[in-house]
Structure 1
Amino acid sequence: MAAFRTDVGIDLGTASILVYVKGKGIVLKEPSVVAIDQNTNKFLAVGEEARKMLGRTPGNIIAIRPLRDGVISNYDVTERMLKYFIQKSIGKFILRPRVIICVPSGVTEVEKRAVIEASNQAGARKTYLIEEPIAAAIGAGVDITEPNGNMIVDIGGGTTDVAVISLGGIVVSRSIKTAGDECDEAITKYIRKKYNMMIGERSAEDLKVNIGSAYKREKEVFKEVRGRNLLTGLPMNVKVSSTDMLEALEEPIQQIGETVHAVLERTPPELAADIGNKGILMTGGGALLYGMDKLITEKTGIPVHIANDPISCVAIGTGKSLDWVEVLESSLVEDSSIRRYRG
């Protein structure tokens, strides 16, 4: 009967959802956006189709992102979205799948419970959670079982997780709600203040991806952006430079740098020595921001390496951890039988 079950690993990100199916790898990568008709409460679009609707919908249709800052902000929509993505990834299933979902290292017990319940209601037989830095390290090919210090900086859409891992567990960690989304907001505010122009969420993200900078570039680059003039209310175009982006992103980038520094300060000396030798590993979409690695190297004096596939690292690591589900499951069965015996 085991052949009829498919185990699934999900990177439940604020910006995008990646689904890893055991034996197949990553089968789905979509933005975590849903378009809903408010009159009928029906899903009109999910993922990439819904993302295209952000900021462009009529009154009765809303395009929403049900996850904010790495946690569920709209439970019902998250549950329905998870159900849609699980079914799209594995099709019809005879036995309900076991699911592993990764969560930021700073989530509360209540937030963890919300993720587990949403997943179980979406069709999972059992749901396990794995912390993002551990999943990122596994996905990047780090052997986390060794008694060596490994520092992971995972910059996602809603949260930045900084953790020191040794012997398969997190020794020191910190999770802040400053990441990709915060950078987009900072760009929107900067453009409004400097150019008196209002731009949308997607335009801000395009600027960040194409000319965003955390460190001064040798050669300045430009990108034209279109928005609404706040004085006249008419459409206008502005040519934005990478120096503008450096100024716009200064505050969120500073916070990420300070978090890395704060975690290093709390790291035991032996592990700090390991990190000094091996360097810091960066994962997540934020690792691709120009000069982010150079900035952290400058701040800490420690070399920074960017993972081969930083965006997929967490999903790959979550998927690889499916191999341990048997171990988790046997221990859970044992626990429940002890509870029944005591009861």
Structure 2
Amino acid sequence: MNAFRRYSRTSCGSETGIKLLSELSNWLGSGRLIPVNDIAVDLGTANTLIYVKGEGIVLNEPSVVAVERGSRRILGIGLEAKRMLGRTPEGIEAIRPLKDGVIADVDVTEMMLRHFLKQVTSKRIFRIKPTVVVGVPSGITELERRAVRSSAMSAGSKNVFMVDEPMAAAIGVGLPVETPTGNMVIDIGGGTTDYVLYVDGAILASGCIPVGGDHVTNDIHLVTHLPLSKAEQVKKTEGDASGDPTKSEGVVTVADEGGFPDVELKRQIINDVIRMRFQETLELVRERLPDDGLVRVGKGVFLTGGSSQMVGLGELAQDVFGLPVYKPESPDVSGVHAYIKDPQYFTALGLIRYAQILEEERPNSSAWGKVSGFLRSLWPFGG
């Protein structure tokens, strides 16, 4: 019996020690020991992503803020605020401060960005003022740019750089922006479609169409009367934007989770709704280009953004622009996790690359990098 008790104490002690070591390694691996040096922020209409150098995406939350009416006191930001959309009690307003490619509410955007940045930097034991690169809609005003800069500075940033989202997407794709051959990138997100055409490193045309994948989902919802969640699912799994008649044959069966009979929809109707909205959007982009714009495009049109993955969209874009269309794979960028190499993250990837270029050009930039690298080599448990 005594031997058993001695064994039990030793075993429990070992288990406790292993557990403590595991928790310690998890804590050290979380990156809290390493100060944030470079941050890339993709300030999107639907979601805001924050990337920290060497760690990957540390924040991906909806660009939604819940505020108290009158006082404008923030009650929730991101996921918490999104849950309040459409079911907020009286006195509380859940809003999207970025809408249709512009900053619709400067003050709330400033509060939201400050909150997200502090959420990332405040968890660190050691802190230094980071350099922040923010991707912004191409159509924002100088006042809105000042608001973005102010919110980042008040969150403790050392330097703030802003890059138009379509140009960030071009960098993320890995296109050589300085070549004499023109390149065109169309970044199709949830709420907006940004485009940029540049020649010799100079932007020839850029802009933002306040239409994206969410509008296509809403169109399907209005035509079929499906709930928005089901409309989104049908769009992704059954839809095709190409206009090919052979892709529109038959019906789509949508299961009803409420116990009612399944719904059958003609595939032709779904595809027509998808194609018409995307075709209208791409034609608007074409109309906003200079007269000789398409002639100056070299290799072709590059599609990025989460909604660019719509089946058949490449074929539709080729019909609209009369040029080869590519859905490129992301280039290798140091310190970038594999899951970021997805078209919806190309803008964030471009911001990361831009931050790395700034790092390379920064005087005496290697000193802290060596210290940070040494600390990470001691505790290589994460990122």
Q: Secondary structure at the match of 1:78?
A: helix
Choose which of 322, 331, 334 in structure 1 pairs with 2:355: 322
1:254-293 → structure 2 map (5 Å cutoff): 254-262=279-287, 266-267=291-292, 271-272=296-297, 274=298, 278-293=299-314
Structure 2 Cα separation of the partners of residues 42 and 241 of structure 1? 47
Would the aligned equivalents of 2:138 and 2:164 in 1 still touch at CA under 8 Å? yes
1:207-237 Cα shifts (integer Å, max 9, x gaps): 433434322426656353779xxxxxxx997
Structure 2 Cα separation of the partners of residues 297 and 124 of structure 1? 43
How far residue 113 of structure 1 moved from its aligned partner, in angstroms, is 2.8
Would the aligned equivalents of 2:37 and 2:131 in 1 still touch at CA under 8 Å? yes
How far residue 12 of structure 1 moved from its aligned partner, in angstroms, is 0.4
Task: Assess, with a 3 A threshold, how the Cα gap between structure 1 residues 182 and 101 changes in structure 2: closer, same or farther.
Answer: same
Q: Secondary structure at the match of 2:216?
A: helix
1:167-187 Cα shifts (integer Å, max 9, x gaps): 333122232212233323433
How far residue 117 of structure 1 moved from its aligned partner, in angstroms, is 2.9
How far residue 282 of structure 1 moved from its aligned partner, in angstroms, is 0.4
1:172-187 → structure 2 map (5 Å cutoff): 172-187=205-220
How far residue 251 of structure 1 moved from its aligned partner, in angstroms, is 4.2
5+ residue gaps, structure 2, are 1-33, 330-341, 364-383
Task: Assess, with a 3 A threshold, how the Cα gap between structure 1 residues 11 and 225 changes in structure 2: closer, same or farther.
Answer: farther
Choose which of 162, 167, 190 in structure 2 pairs with 1:134: 167
1:189-222 Cα shifts (integer Å, max 9, x gaps): 323xxxxx4845x554444334343224266563
Choose which of 267, 271, 275 in structure 2 pairs with 1:246: 271
Q: Secondary structure at the match of 1:253?
A: helix
Task: Assess, with a 3 A threshold, how the Cα gap between structure 1 residues 268 and 199 changes in structure 2: closer, same or farther.
Answer: closer
Q: Which residue of 1 aligns with 2:109?
A: 78
Q: Secondary structure at the match of 2:343?
A: coil
Report percent identity of matched pairs. Answer: 37
Structure 1 Cα separation of the partners of residues 313 and 227 of structure 2? 24
Choose which of 193, 204, 216 in structure 2 pairs with 1:171: 204
Range that drifts further, 84-93 or 67-76? 84-93
1:18-167 → structure 2 map (5 Å cutoff): 18-36=49-67, 43-90=74-121, 91-92=123-124, 94-167=127-200
How far residue 280 of structure 1 moved from its aligned partner, in angstroms, is 1.3
How far residue 161 of structure 1 moved from its aligned partner, in angstroms, is 1.7
How far residue 165 of structure 1 moved from its aligned partner, in angstroms, is 2.2
Q: Secondary structure at the match of 1:313?
A: helix
Task: Assess, with a 3 A threshold, how the Cα gap between structure 1 residues 237 and 329 changes in structure 2: closer, same or farther.
Answer: farther
Q: TM-score, normalised by structure 2?
A: 0.69
Q: Secondary structure at the match of 2:344?
A: coil
Q: Which residue of 1 aligns with 2:37?
A: 6
Task: Assess, with a 3 A threshold, how the Cα gap between structure 1 residues 111 and 250 changes in structure 2: closer, same or farther.
Answer: farther
Structure 1 Cα separation of the partners of residues 95 and 40 of structure 2? 23
**Which amino acid in 1 is paired with 2:327?**
I
Q: Which residue of 2 aligns with 1:211?
A: 238
Larger radius of gyration: 2
How far residue 11 of structure 1 moved from its aligned partner, in angstroms, is 0.7
How far residue 153 of structure 1 moved from its aligned partner, in angstroms, is 0.9
How far residue 132 of structure 1 moved from its aligned partner, in angstroms, is 1.4
More strand by share: 1
**Which amino acid in 1 is paired with 2:106?**
Y
Would the aligned equivalents of 2:132 and 2:159 in 1 still touch at CA under 8 Å? yes
Q: Which residue of 2 aligns with 1:337?
A: none
1:199-238 → structure 2 map (5 Å cutoff): 199-200=227-228, 202-216=229-243, 217=247, 222=252, 224=254, 238=263
**Which amino acid in 2 is paired with 1:181?**
D
Range that drifts further, 19-28 or 313-322? 19-28
1:288-307 → structure 2 map (5 Å cutoff): 288-307=309-328
Range that drifts further, 11-20 or 41-50? 41-50
Q: What is the number of equivalent residue pairs in this alignment?
A: 312
Q: Secondary structure at the match of 2:150?
A: helix
Q: Secondary structure at the match of 2:152?
A: helix
Task: Assess, with a 3 A threshold, how the Cα gap between structure 1 residues 236 and 12 changes in structure 2: closer, same or farther.
Answer: farther
Structure 2 Cα separation of the partners of residues 179 and 18 of structure 1? 18
**Which amino acid in 1 is paired with 2:85?**
L
Would the aligned equivalents of 1:164 and 1:267 in 2 still touch at CA under 8 Å? no
How far residue 310 of structure 1 moved from its aligned partner, in angstroms, is 1.1
How far residue 27 of structure 1 moved from its aligned partner, in angstroms, is 2.6
